[in-house]
Structure 1
Amino acid sequence: MFLITWCSRRAGGLAMAGTIWLTYWVISGERGHQLHGYKQHESIDSLASNAPTNNLVGPSNRVRVFAYYCLLIHLLVAIFPLRSNWALFTITKSLQKMAHIATASRDLDLAHQRRGSSTSLSSAETLTSSRELTSSSCSEAGESDIELSVDSEMTPNMIIHAIVIPNYKEENDTLRETLEVLASHPQARATYDVYLAMEQRETDVENKAMLLVNEFMRRFRSISFTVHPSNIPGELAGKGSNLAWAARQLSQRYTPAQRKDVIVTGIDADSHLLANYFTLVTTMHVAHPRTATTTLYSAPIIFDRNAHNVPAIVRVADIMWSAAGMSGLHEGSYVAPPTSVYSLPLELVDRVGGWDCDSEAIGEDLHMYLKCFFALNGNLTVRTVLSPVSQTNVTGGGRDKGLRGIGMDMKARYKQALRHMWGALDTGYALRKMAEVWRERKHTSRAFRPLHTSPDGSDGYIPQAQLDISNRTGFFSDIVTDTLEGPDYTRIFVLFHRLFEAHFLPVQMTILVIGSTLYLWLVDGAADAPGIGWIFGVCNVLRTLGFIEVGLYLFLYEKFHKICVETREKEMSDAGLTKGMHFSHRAPKKNWIDYFMVPLVATAYGSIPCAQALIWHFWTLDLVYTVSKKVTRQRGKSVSSTPEKKVETMV
């Protein structure tokens, strides 16, 4: 068992080593043939008549395996940007329609006011039921997708949003700005329970939290803070452990009757959410009662605050990162891991035992998604919230510092890329959970208790006999029982494709591009003889097509960015929060350099950090978590100024 666990955690590194070995085997074999005075195709022809047809180690077969694996990897590389483009196109189209509805509603409301009418829009005018304006990505046939797309005041007050903001040594202005944005939402006082998830490692953290709580206590349904202890064995410092502690504390506040209508949302300290984010989540939760407690809600993210103040390579790296998250959010997708910000019902948090805190959970968003996915045998419902979340680009404080400043920003972005790629550990976690699903495939009875009363990480099935005893005796009276559907192997297959795409593909592609180039140079075009030359020709076409598709993504992104910035700016203006707030508008004439950064980004923030993470996993699973600098609202200063902030390390 230890060996299986060890290998699963290093699956990416072992796959990388296997690909390197295959490449070396093919090239060294061809080089040996060259030294003996004949080409690869000649050796194949000469051996073909004598070699058995089932020989799997002959020169012909190893070259064919190498060639067809190259083709597979290139196909996957071409598919990813194609899917991202489709997701971006459909999301942008939906956002445009929602913006038109919002504008028409505001005009109608103004017309009512001019006529002296105190009537507001009716719910029939506010609720829009349409397949064209879908805010859902799921595989459930027959369920219409209903949106509450305009009037956030129509949100049912029965739904409580528990908003957790994990943070560590963040500037007060960063947290205050995020809270001000949340407090500006019309439904904040009625439905928002805000939890500042603080860290004990931070000096004077309780006073810092109390100042913010006192400042905003009248602007939310409630606001409080939790302090995550620094001495819990087996925990790795980071967002996941902070969220896990806060979730267990907030769980105590909600009764069993309330829990089905409590939705937990985890956001970054610098995340700005539009008011309709929670409105849309509420509407989908109410509109789909059958799957309400087994649904995870995720939204696209956009870096629209300081993109104009970071180097182009950093800006494009963040755009590509958002593209990776957006690639699963298209209509009809039923595998859609969230990025940074996501929501899920408290009963689902109860079911899976909350967030994990070990090394494998450093990418807590993907890890929690996997935990929910496998706890439901792959039958997790995912719905897309058509309300992009504003984020800030990573910066090392290098603005206006010339080449040294560019290097500082690039270094800060590389550290974040390494942390993202460290999430390759989640592939091993998924492999072990898949084995668990297979072992328990015949056990459909599941039971769970409120998070604060259950053991850490409990998410297993309870035998029916034990459930019957507990029901007769009243023991564990707060236990909830459920029957799961059988494993959905199609979704599980798609999930592993996405994990391979995220954690294996960058390194595999680089190795095979270098290896195939060396091989073709050695054979000097003779690879046509064994019938595989066409494969390398197709790979060249697919590689070129992939770059074209990424260029198309950047082109489509221009409109998406424009809609998102204008929508956020309008909402912040209505709330009186634009003074000192950052809005990064894109202009194609100024951002033309972004298109030339794609190859550099793919290498510097894809292949290299991925390879480093996979190699380091052979020695350690722990990564020191660093806090990135964030752009904050400037009071009494120029909007374009960027504050200095010391980068701290969580130890």
Structure 2
Amino acid sequence: MRRFKVYLGMELRETGAESKALRLVQHYVKRFRSIDYTLHPVDIPGEAAGKGSNLAWAARKLSSNYTMPIRKNVIVTGIDADSHLSSRYFAQISNMHTIYTETAATTLYAAPIIFDRNAHSVNAIVRVADILWCAAGMSGLYSSSVIAPPTSVYSLPLELVDRVGGWDCDSEAIGEDLHMFIKCFFALNGHLTCRTVLSPVSQTNVSGGGNGGFRGALMDMKARYKQAIRHMWGALDSGFALRKASEMWKDRKYTRRAFRPLHKTGRGDSLNGYFPEVQLEAGSELPTDNDAFSDITRDTLKEPHWEHIFYLAHRLFEAHFLPLHMMILVVASTLYTWVTEGGEDPNNLSWIFSTCNVLRPLGLVEVAVYMLIYESYHRVCVRARERDMAQAGLADGMCFSHRSLKQNLIDYFLVPAVALLYGTLPCAQAEISHFWTADLEYAVSKKAVRQRAKSVTVEDVV
């Protein structure tokens, strides 16, 4: 643990944020190499409240603590407050960063997620929604995948953060994990290296704060729908990707790049700037340590990787449009067959609908198979976390949610309803809303937490 420097990204708009940060610093200061906190101000022009703007603010502070020679070996990991990472997560990243030296500076590390904290205490519909969300996150993390967007928690080298200018803060970047992935992807002309960390990140299901019963279930479902809207609001990233692809096409002949450390740049600067090739090829010397521009890093990019760009476009379609398009196709095909029933088929289309009638139940069977596989995945993850926390002496007050096929059989029958409620409907609402606004009021969902100690004030600690 002494290798880790922890930065707590606190929001100034949160009541008692500084007191909370000071309490955490005081409690864990001897556990890490260092622990510090930042207070993200309120109402910065051009910023939208959310994880992305908080990360951007904290990243600038941590960037100033590292000199040029060691920046290439600094890995930045963004972690949600409710996430739990095993020590194996960091061990695997350290090994991959050391072994794959050629791509170390251009690699983004992503891990699968698991909802194993309070799944037993939330409504079954909410639980199934998160199980399917878990599947969506894992879908791109297979070993040969070149497009592996992270879900919530991910790691990347500080040098890569410098190259892309840190995290964006506007409304378009509300889904900061995918947004940052796209930003890094196009900054490298599609040559971003993706590596999977085989250490699942433990997370909690959203809770509406109810105390059970019908009313509590409705509160949980409402809270989960708000979260689904926030997820689907990330469809804005499809437009962001199109713009970045257009910029890459225009600048495809210019492969020279120059960038500076994140804290040395102005907020909102584009660090993926060009360094004139004639100046570099004219024999100009690299700046010395005493030079005012000694912190500039120069690099030459590879040609755009169009195959990877095609794969990214396909993934974005799956994530942002397919949930709604599938429902449109199902409804339209049902209406068509109902209207044309008993009539002639001059265009010979009946075989298409007959084939789809077979494929639909097969799709449900595939989901059922995934749910069965998830049972063992969940069991392995929760047992491993329970063992790790017990060995660390932190098991008391922690939540461990165990599953069984008999106990959770209802989950299998709720999949179609959940797909409609938390896939199709929020996707439609978000994309229709984007016709007139890109802004979404960001509200942090209520999550299960450990039993908290008594709050203290700043004066109590200082």
Q: TM-score range by the shorter chain?
A: over 0.9
1:538 aligned residue? 355
Task: Work out which of the residue numbers 203, 217, 242 in structure 1 matches 2:15.
Answer: 203
Q: Distance in 1 between matches of 2:433 and 2:133?
A: 22
The structure-2 alpha-carbon separation of the partners of 1:529 and 1:580, relative to structure 1 and needing over 3 Å to count, comes to same
Partner of 1:464: 277
Output the amino acid matched with 1:477.
Answer: S
For 1:367, the equivalent position in structure 2 comes to 179
1:403 aligns with 2:214: yes
Aligned counterpart in structure 2 of residue 423 of structure 1, from 223, 226, 234: 234
Evaluate the alpha carbon distance shift between residue 464 and residue 472 of structure 1 in structure 2; reply closer, same or farther with a 3 A threshold: farther
Alignment CA distance shift 1:526-1:566 (3 Å): same
| Kept in 2: contact 1:354–1:457 (CA 8 A) | no
Query: What SS class does the counterpart of residue 265 from structure 1 fall into?
Result: strand
Superposed, 1:267-416 pairs within 5 Å as 267-400=79-212, 402-416=213-227
Among 257, 262, 267, the alignment partner of 1:446 is: 257
Alpha-carbon distance, 1:475 to partner? 4.5
The structure 1 residue matched to 2:339, chosen from 516, 522, 541, is 522
Q: 1:274 is aligned with what amino acid? A: S
Residues 171-186 of structure 1: pairs in structure 2 closer than 5 A: none
Q: Counterpart of 2:443?
A: 626
1:208 maps to amino acid? K
Separation (CA, whole Å) in 2 of partners of 1:464 and 1:238 = 39
Q: Counterpart of 1:246?
A: 58
Aligned position for 2:28: 216
8 Å contact kept, 2:287–2:293:
no
Q: Please identify, of 303-312 and 197-206, the stretch whose mean Cα deviation from structure 2 is larger.
A: 197-206
Asked if the contact 2:59–2:166 (Cα under 8 Å) also holds between the matched residues in 1, the reply is yes
Whole-Å separation in 2 of the counterparts to 1:574 and 1:491: 43
Q: CA deviation at 1:218?
A: 1.1
On the 8 A contact 2:12/2:41 being kept in 1, the answer is yes
Query: What is the RMSD computed on CA atoms of the aligned residues?
Result: 1.5
Q: Unpaired segments of 5 or more residues in structure 2?
A: 454-462
Please give the alpha-carbon distance, in whole angstroms, between the structure 2 residues aligned to 1:449 and 1:470. Answer: 17
Q: Find the aligned partners of 1:615 and 1:192 in 2 and give their Cα distance.
A: 44
Task: State the match for 1:610 in structure 2.
Answer: 427
Q: Distance in 2 between matches of 1:495 and 1:318?
A: 24
Tell me by how many angstroms 1:410 deviates.
0.2
Deviations 1:237-267 (A, max 9, x none): 0000000000011100000011001000001
Q: 1:236 aligns with which of 33, 41, 48?
A: 48
Flag the 1:211–1:343 CA change in 2: closer, same or farther, 3 A: same
Unpaired runs of at least 5, structure 1:
1-187, 637-651
Structure (1/2) with the larger helix percentage: 1
Partners of 1:457 and 1:283 in 2: CA distance: 33
Q: CA deviation at 1:489?
A: 0.8
- Counterpart residue number, 1:550: 367
Write the distance in 2 (CA, Å) between the matches of 1:210 and 1:380.
Answer: 37
* 1:318/1:393 contact within 8 Å kept: yes
The one-letter amino acid of 1:607's match is T
Shift in Å, 1:205: 2.4
**1:291 corresponds to which letter in structure 2?**
T
Matches of 1:219 and 1:470 in 2, distance apart? 45
1:296, CA displacement in angstroms?
Answer: 0.2
* Offset, 1:512: 1.4
Is the counterpart of residue 581 in structure 1 residue 398 in structure 2? yes
1:600 corresponds in structure 2 to 417
SS of the residue corresponding to residue 625 of structure 1 reads coil
The question of 1:436 aligning with 2:253 is answered: no
Q: Report the residue type matching 2:236 in the other structure.
A: L
Partner of 2:460: none
Provide the rounded CA distance (Å) in 1 between the counterparts of 2:223 and 2:45: 29
**Residues of 1 paired with 2:323 and 2:287: CA distance?**
55
Q: How far apart are 1:466 and its partner, in Å?
A: 5.3
The Cα of 1:476 is off from its aligned counterpart by: 1.7
Shift of 1:465: 4.1
The alignment of Structure 1 onto Structure 2 pairs a total of residues equal to 447
CA distance in structure 1 between the aligned counterparts of 2:399 and 2:61, rounded to whole angstroms: 34
Aligned identity (percent) is: 65
Contact 2:379–2:403 (CA under 8 A) maintained in structure 1: yes
Asked if the contact 1:296–1:345 (Cα under 8 Å) also holds between the matched residues in 2, the reply is yes
Change (3 A) 1:444 1:566: same
> Counterpart amino acid of 1:391?
Q
Q: Is the 8 A contact 1:580 1:635 kept in 2?
A: no
Q: What letter is aligned with 2:165? A: G
Distance in 1 (alpha carbons) for counterparts of 2:368 and 2:85: 28
Cα deviation, 1:373-405, whole Å, max 9, x if unaligned, reads: 0000110000000000000000101232x1111
- SS of 1:246's equivalent in the other structure is helix
Larger-Rg structure = 1
Residue 459 of structure 2 corresponds to none
- Deviation of residue 447 (structure 1)? 1.1
Separation in 1, partners of 2:316, 2:344: 33
Q: TM-score, normalised by structure 2?
A: 0.94
Measure the CA separation in 1 of the matches of 2:442 and 2:226: 9
Shift of 1:446: 1.0
Q: Is the contact made by 1:295 and 1:382 (CA closer than 8 Å) also made in structure 2? A: yes
- Per the TM alignment, residue 461 of structure 1 is displaced from its structure 2 partner at its CA by 2.6
Q: Which residue of 2 aligns with 1:173?
A: none
Alignment of 1:494 with 2:333, yes or no, is: no
Alignment of 1:33-72 (within 5 A): none
**CA drift at 1:424:** 0.2
Q: Aligned partners of 2:55 and 2:126: how far apart in 1?
A: 28
2-structure distance, mates of 1:269, 1:530: 57
Offset of 1:528 from its aligned partner? 3.7
Cα distance change on mapping 1:428 and 1:525 into 2, 3 Å: farther
